[in-house]
Structures are given as structure tokens and as C-alpha cells.
Amino acid sequence: MEIVYEYVKKRSEFGRPCNFSDRASDLHLDIQPDAELAACFFSLDSRDVGMQCAADMSENEVNTVRIESESRGINHTEGGWPNNVNPQEIEHTMRFRKKVEKDENYIKAILKLGIQMEHSIKQNNAIDIYQEYFGEGEEEEEEMADAKEQPAAKTINVFRDPNEVKRTASSLSWHPDGNHKLAVAYSSLEFQRASKSMNFDSYIWDIENRNWPDLTLKPVSPLVSLEYNPKDSHILLGGSYNGQIAYWDTRKGGQPVEMSAIEHSHRDPAYKVIWLQSKTGTDAFSTSTDGQVLWWDIRNMNEPTERLVLDPSKKENLDNALTAVCLEFETTMPTKFMVGTEQGLVISCNRKAKTPAEKIVCTYSSHQGPIYALQRNPFFPKYFLTVADWTARIWSEDIKESSIMSTTFDMTYLMDGCWSPVRPAVFFTAKKDGTVDVWDFLFKQNDPTLTVKVCDEALCSLRVQSNGRLLACGSHVGTATLLEISPGLYTLQRNEKALANEMFERETRREKILEGRLREMRLKERSRSEPGKEEEAQDLEGEESPEELIARAEKDFFQIVEAEMKKWKNETEKQKGKDVSEQKKC
Amino acid sequence: MAEVEETLKRIQTHKGVIGIIVVNAEGIPIRTTLDNSTTVQYAAQLHQLTMLSRSAVREIDPQNDLTFLRIRSKKHEIMVAPEKDFLLVVIQNPSE
């Protein structure tokens, strides 16, 4: 339906002036509401309509064009000569200069500036402002500042295992010179927990770069221990989970240069490998829980140069052997080395012994659990540190019965420890709850001087850098954390060496005295109970009734208890006496 | 005029003074006791440095202004006294 209205005007009437007049309205079209259509709709009584009585606005973004600015230097060689003066011609310049000098402003300015300048010149001549007055005082101030500083440790960098399946960072080794690289060995130490997809690689990290490792070492089996060769910083030796020893050359890439023949290697993971001091710099030895200590020359890895079975009965019986977990070797004492066992014994051995039976010199026993770390004090090699079960103990080589000093029993297992290479009485321990303890035995012996919580998982390995400032610890999930410790803990104090030596000697003496005492008492007891023993022997020949057995057991028991009490009393007396004498000394 | 000469001469005769340069607002050395090449170098560099120092001081506090500039180096000390139109530069070897 079209609604059209025609409006007609004659052509001849165009242009004529308009003459408007009113008239009634004219209805052209009327459309009625269609009832059928109305049925399709229903009326809504009320509707919500948003209204706003505000001006309509539109949002636009405007951004000015960024001006790129760059810093540049301008080389200004010759001053801004005015147009008429040619700087090359001396005449012109002279004339110009003369003109300026005639200027009044010039005269006034120079006079004023002259006064200022003279003042400064005279100042300079009078006093040398950079003269050192308090040269010595400065040093003392620095030392005082250090002493007042709270010991603290700061995490500098964290290296995470880039693989999906996390492995334990079981061993760490610092690069021997420069200390900017850290080699970390990754493996899964839990029995049969290693999943098939676990990556065997170990990494060398550059401590500046935490995103990707500097070099990937690809062994045949995951590495449990890894050490840089102190003589040649390109060579690394690794002990792997299947007992083989392999060595890498970082110049040759990630594949091992050579691996030991599997028939002659260890039968258990090679928990520790250490480089030896030798002319060729290619000797090393390794140990594992199969009870053997093997010596290797890396030039010929087919078979070990020497073998030692850690059998305390000296019969070379592998079944009887003690299982070793860590080794210790100090280059200042090349003929001796020590082995820490799973049984809690430390065995001191002599390399140069002729027969294998003579190799084992003596054992030290005091720990209840496997010895995870064993290290001689870098300043006083006669004393060594063992870290095992819940304590860390310091031993003197001469005293075999017990340690000379020990930390208190901790709540968690201690997993690794090492001496500080710069301070004789400071050592570090890593614990199963993820904390690192710094012990300063000259300062405090009951508690660690500093406890730092590094991570939530157990810390399995700990290594301090040779300048004593940086500490690397490896955790159960393969995260290696670098900590920097405060200067107070790595600067050698004035008499520290002498004091530490005194302390160790004092403790050694105490232990010796106690040992002597114990021996005496034992002898006395034996002599006392010997006539008793003869009677008992006679009794035994007859028949023993249960009551007599009980009576005998009781008698023995009480004797032992009394002996223990006497010993304890003597010890406390001795300690009190020592404390008093210590106080007197202070 | 004579006072200017006298002032400059007096400064020159102080202990340790190596040389004097007077630079104008355009960086042209007006008066100098050093050789030409050194003078030109000093004038150019110090003029710019003084401008920069002055603007630094004034930016931090607009009421402030640069009164003196001293640069101590390993070998000697360069002292610059700025004025509205001129710069007086003295190079001195301090008492050592």
C-alpha cells in the first residue's frame, strides 16, 4: 500500500512570490487499527528504561608520538666566533679580543671573579683537603662495624632443575679458579624411585645465569657425586648411580671422555669421588656402599689401580665389609685418608701400607647413623668434622673413643656439612628440613650462630666456595641455592687461628683425661670383679638355679649403673673444673 | 684596564697556578696564558660544563645559581668562576 500525495505546480508559475494563506486541514489518509494485528501484541504495563540527563560524550584515546631521544656528545672545538671574524686569521681574532677587553662589563666581571678565584687558590694552597688524618682509626671503625653486624645470609641465586621429573641435587662442586661455575650432580637417591622418564643429565651452572645451564653432562647413569679437578679446571670426575666412574672434559662437550669398565667398578652407587694429589694430576679415588675404596688413574679407566675392602676384621671379606658413604682426603696429608661409613664409623686409613690388612689404621665411632660428611679442618688438619644423624662432631685424630666437641642433638637429620675455608672455627651444616646452620664454635657452641631456612624440601648437599663468601646448597627437588653470608662470618678475626687452636687443644686434653680416667676405672673394676669371676666360674660348673641367675644378673646390672654414675660425676666435675679454669683464663 | 691586568697578574703569580683563561659567553677565549690548542680545548669543554652545571643547580632550585665550579683531577684542579658574560678559568696544582 503506497501513500502518495502529488503536489503540482505549473512551470509558468515558478519564481512567483509565495502567498501563504490559512485553510482547514485536509484528511488524506486514515489508517484504522487492525484488530487482527492487535492480537499479535500485548501491552506491557511498565517498563524499565534507563534515562540519563547528561550530555552525550564519547571516549577517545590520544597519545602523542614518542620522541626518541638519544644522548650524543658534541665536539666543540672552536668557540662561536661572530660572522665577521675569521678564526683562522690571527689579525681578526686579535682585533676582536682587543675589542672585548675594552668593554666595561669585561673589566667589572674580571675584577669580581678575580677576587673569588684568589680566595679559592689560597684555600688550595693552605690545606690539602685529601690528607688522611685518621688512617688507622678507619680500620678499627670498619672492624667494629663488622662485629656489631648481625650475621645474615642472603640468597643470591637459585638454580632449578629444568626437567619435569625433579631429581635430588646430590652433589655440588665449585670451579677451582674463578669460582664462577658450579657443577651440580643430579640423581634420585631414593631406592627404586627413579622413574623411567627421569633425565640422567647433570649440569654445570654459571652463577650469573640461572635460566639455563652452562654445560650439560650426559652420563650413562645419573651422577651421584661430581668433583672438579683442582689442578685442571676443565676436568670433572663423576661417580654414577650404577657404580661407574666417568670423567668429562668441558672443552670436549657433554659426553664423558671415558668411563670405567663396569666389571671393575663399584656395585653400588659411587657416593664419593675425590681427586688425589699427584704429579700427573690424574689420580682419584672413589668409594661406595659396596664396601670398597678404589683408586683410579683417569688415563686408564679399564680397571682401578688399587682396591681396598673396608673389612674391619682385615680379611678382605666383601660380605663383612663396612659400607662407605663418604671419603676424605687432604692434600697436606697425602698418605692418610678417611672413610665415613653407613654404620657410623669413621675409618682412618694409610695409603702407603704394604698389605691391605695394614691399610686400616683405626676407627672412630660415636655416631648412630651414616656419616654424610667428613672433612678435615683446613687450618688444623689434625681435627676433622663429621656430620651424621642429628649432630655434627669435631674429632681429634688422637682420641679414638669419642669426639672432642659436638653440637647439640638437632630436631632434624643433618645431611651435609663443611668447614669454612677462611675461618678455622666456622662450619656449615645442611639439614633435612631445608635449613642451613652456620656454627661459629669460638663464639657460641650451644646453638648455631646463624640459621637460614633455604627451602621447604630437604637439603642434600652443601659446598662453600673457596673465598668463604658464597655457599651453594642443593635440595631434594634439584634446586641449587646460592647464599651469600655476611662479612662477619668470612673475615678472619685477629687472633682467631690461635684461639681456635687453643680451643681444640683444650678439648682434646679434656677428652684424653676422661679417657684415661675411664681406663683406670675399668681396670679397677676388672681387678675387683676378677676374684668374683673365679667364684662364678666355680658356680657355673655346678648347676645354676634361676634365682642365682637372677641374683647374678642383678649384681652385674647394679655394678654397671654405679660405674656409669661415677663416670658421669667425674665428667661433670672435670667440666666444672675446666670451666672455672677457662673463666680464669678469660 | 690596568686593574684587570694587575688582577690577572696577581692570580698568575700564586703558588701552583699553571694557567689562566678568560672565556666569553660564546666560548671564545679572550685572554690566556697557555698555548692556543690547550686554550681552545679548555674553553670549549669548560664552557659547556659550566652551562650544564648552572642549569642543574637552577633546575633543582630556581632561586639558586652557580657561583663557583671546582674540578679536582689527579693531576691538578680546574677552577671556574662564572659570570653573566664571561668565565674565568684557572688551572692550579694544589699543595702536594
B80-92 confidence digits (pLDDT tens): 999 888 899 999 9
The separation between the first and the last C-alpha atoms of chain A, rounded to the nearest angstrom, is 121
Query: Average pLDDT for residues A68-93, to the nearest whole number?
Result: 72
Least confident range from A21-35, A199-213, A308-322, B78-92: namely A308-322
Query: Which of the residues A112, A121, A123, A128 would you substitute to probe the B interface, choosing the one with the greatest number of B C-beta atoms within 10 Å?
Result: A121
The pLDDT of residue B20 is: 92
Does A80 sit within 8 Å of B14, measured CB to CB?
no
Please name the helix (run of DSSP H) or strand (run of DSSP E) that holds residue A56, with its range, or none. none
Cell (9 digits) for B70: 671546582
Among chain A residues, the shortest Cα distance to B15 is held by A125
Per-residue pLDDT band for B3 (boundaries 50, 70, 90) equals: confident
Does A78 sit within 8 Å of B40, measured CB to CB?
yes
Query: Average pLDDT for residues A85-99, to the nearest whole number?
Result: 79
- Residue A383's nearest CA partner among A501, A463, A273 is A501
Residue A66 per-residue DSSP state: P
Cell (9 digits) for A110: 674580571
- A550 touching chain B per CB within 8 A: no
- Alpha-carbon span A296 to A303, nearest angstrom: 7
pLDDT at A170 over 60: yes
CA distance A118 to chain B (A): 6
Helix (H, G, I), strand (E, B) or coil at A113: helix
The pLDDT of residue A380 is: 85
Cβ partners under 8 Å of residue A77, min gap 6? B40, B41, B44
Backbone angles phi, psi at A50, to 5 degrees: -80, 135
Q: Please give the distance of CA A552 from its chain centroid, rounded to a whole number.
A: 57
The pLDDT of residue A542 is: 46
The ipTM, to two decimals, is 0.82
Per-residue pLDDT band for A342 (boundaries 50, 70, 90) equals: confident
pLDDT 10s digits, A343-394: 888 888 877 776 666 667 778 877 788 888 888 888 888 888 888 888 888 8
Percentage helix, strand, coil, to 5, in chain B?
40, 30, 30
Supply the DSSP string of A256-307, one letter for each residue. -SEE--TTTS-SS---EEEE---SSS-EEEEE-TTSEEEEEETTB-SS-SEE
- Alpha-carbon span B93 to A131, nearest angstrom: 15
Comparing A76 with A374, which gets the higher pLDDT? A374
- Alpha-carbon span A162 to A339, nearest angstrom: 34
- Residue A323's nearest CA partner among A269, A376, A375 is A269
Nearest to A124 among B16, B22, B41 (CB): B16
Residue A496 per-residue DSSP state: H
Cell (9 digits) for A1: 500500500
**Residues in chain B within 8 Å Cβ distance of A127:** 95
C-alpha distances (whole Å) from B56 to each of A141, A359, B60, B83 are 36, 78, 6, 16
pLDDT 10s digits, A190-204: 776 667 777 888 888
Comparing A199 with A59, which gets the higher pLDDT? A59
- Residue A201's nearest CA partner among A234, A241, A251, A243 is A241
**How is the beta sheet containing A470-475 ordered, strand by strand?**
A153-159, A480-485, A470-475, A459-464
**Residues in chain A within 8 Å Cβ distance of B83:** 109, 112-113
pLDDT at A536 over 60: no
Length of chain A: 586
- Alpha-carbon span A181 to A250, nearest angstrom: 12
Per-residue pLDDT band for A313 (boundaries 50, 70, 90) equals: low
Per-residue pLDDT band for A140 (boundaries 50, 70, 90) equals: low
CA distance A67 to chain B (A): 22
Please identify among residues 114-133 of chain A the ones whose CB lies closer than 8 Å to any CB of chain B. Answer: 114, 116-118, 120-122, 124-128
Per-residue pLDDT band for B68 (boundaries 50, 70, 90) equals: very high
> Which residue carries 671556574 as its cell?
B80
Does B14 sit within 8 Å of A114, measured CB to CB?
no
Nearest to B24 among A76, A100, A116 (CB): A100
Among chain A residues, the shortest Cα distance to B25 is held by A80
Does B23 sit within 8 Å of A124, measured CB to CB?
no
pLDDT at A539 over 50: no
Does B30 sit within 8 Å of A106, measured CB to CB?
yes
Query: Average pLDDT for residues A483-493, to the nearest whole number?
Result: 81
Q: Please give the distance of CA A564 from its chain centroid, rounded to a whole number.
A: 43
Are A391 and A409 spatial neighbours (Cβ–Cβ below 8 Å)? yes
CA distance B23 to chain A (A): 9
Cell (9 digits) for B87: 668565565
Please identify among residues 41-100 of chain A the ones whose CB lies closer than 8 Å to any CB of chain B. Answer: 74, 76-82, 96-97, 100
Nearest to A110 among B22, B48, B77 (CB): B22
Mean pLDDT over each residue of chain A, to the nearest integer = 80
Helix (H, G, I), strand (E, B) or coil at A199: coil
**Residues in chain A within 8 Å Cβ distance of B24:** 79, 100
